[in-house]
Chain A
Amino acid sequence: MNGLKKIFKSVSCPALFPTPYSLFPGCLDTVRSVAAETFRESVKNRFFTIFAVFAACAIYASLLVGVMAVDEEARVLSDLGLGLMELMTLAYALFHAAMAIPREVETKTIYLVFSRPVSRPAYLLGKASGLYLLSAFMLSVMAAIHLSLMALRGFPPGLVYFHILACIWLKVIIITSLALFISLFSTSPVSTMVISGIIWTLGHFTPEARFLVEKTAGFSGRLLKGAAWLIPDLQLYNLRDAPLAAAPGVWFQFAYAALWALGSYGAAVLLFKKKEF
Chain B
Amino acid sequence: MTIVSFNGVGKIYRRRGLGSSSQVVALTDFTLDIEKGEILGLLGLNGAGKTTVMKLLTGLLFPTTGGVSVFGLDPREPQAKNSIGFLPELPYFSPHVTAASALRYYGRLSGMPPRAIEAALPAVIEKVGLVPHKAKKISEFSKGMLQRLGLAQAVLHSPELLVLDEPVSGLDPLAIHDMRALISRLQAEGRTIFLSSHSISELEKICDRVIIMVRGRQARAVKREEWEMTSGGLEALFVEAVTSGARD
Q: Which chain A residues have a beta carbon within 8 Å of chain B's beta carbons?
A: 13-14, 26, 29-30, 33-34, 37, 40-41, 44, 107-109, 111-119, 274, 276-277
Is the pair A277, B92 in contact by a Cβ cutoff of 8 Å? Answer: no
A–B Cβ pairs within 8 angstroms, 28 of them: A14-B76, A26-B111, A37-B94, A40-B97, A44-B96, A108-B89, A108-B90, A108-B91, A108-B92, A109-B91, A111-B88, A112-B88, A112-B91, A112-B106, A112-B109, A114-B58, A114-B59, A115-B58, A115-B81, A115-B84, A116-B82, A116-B110, A116-B111, A117-B78, A118-B109, A276-B55, A276-B61, A277-B55
CA distance A40 to B104 in the complex (A): 14
Is B153 close to A, CB under 8 A?
yes
Assess whether B61 is in contact with A116, with CB atoms less than 8 Å apart. Answer: no
Q: Is the CB of A108 within 8 A of B88?
A: yes
- B95 (CB) vs chain A CBs: closest residue: A44
Structural contact, A14 and B91, CB atoms closer than 8 A: no
Q: Are B88 and A117 in contact (CB-based, < 8 A)? A: no
Q: Could you tell me if B78 and A29 are in contact, using CB atoms closer than 8 angstroms?
A: no
- Asked if B109 and A30 sit within 8 Å, CB to CB, the answer is yes
Q: How far is the CA of A198 from the CA of B93 in the complex (A)?
A: 33
Bound-complex Cα distance A156 to B82 (A): 56
Is A117 in contact with B94, judged by CB distance below 8 angstroms? no
Q: Which chain B residue has the least Cβ–Cβ distance from A106?
A: B92
- List A contacts of B92 (CB < 8 A): 107-109
Q: Pick the contact of B106 from A13, A116, A276 — CB < 8 Å?
A: A116
Most buried by A among B94, B97, B108: B108
Q: Could you count the A-B residue pairs with CB atoms below 8 Å apart for me: how many are there?
A: 80
Mostly, the B contact residues are loop
Which residues from 31 to 79 on chain B have a C-beta closer than 8 Å to any C-beta of chain A? 55, 58-62, 74, 76-79
Question: Who on chain B is nearest to A120 by CB?
Answer: B76
Interface contacts beyond A112-B106, A117-B81: sample of 5 additional A-B pairs, CB < 8 Å, sorted by A: A44-B96, A108-B88, A108-B90, A115-B58, A115-B60
Given contacts A33-B105, A111-B86, A276-B61, contact A116 B91 (CB under 8 A): no
**CA A193 – CA B77 in complex, angstroms?**
35
Of A30, A41, A112, which contacts B86 at CB under 8 A? A112
Q: Inside 8 A of B111's CB, which chain A residues have their CB?
A: 26, 29, 116-117
When the two chains form their complex, are residues A37 and B82 in contact, meaning their CB atoms are under 8 A apart?
Answer: no
CB distance from A248 to the nearest CB of B (A): 40
Known contacts: A29-B111, A115-B86. The answer to whether A276 contacts B60 by CB under 8 A is: yes
1/0 per residue, CB under 8 A from A, across B156-183: the answer is 0100000100000000000000000000
Q: How far is the CA of A44 from the CA of B101 in the complex (A)?
A: 14
| Residues B109 and A113 in contact, CB atoms below 8 Å apart | yes
Which residue of A has the minimal Cβ distance to B153? A112
Q: Are A41 and B94 in contact (CB under 8 A)?
A: yes
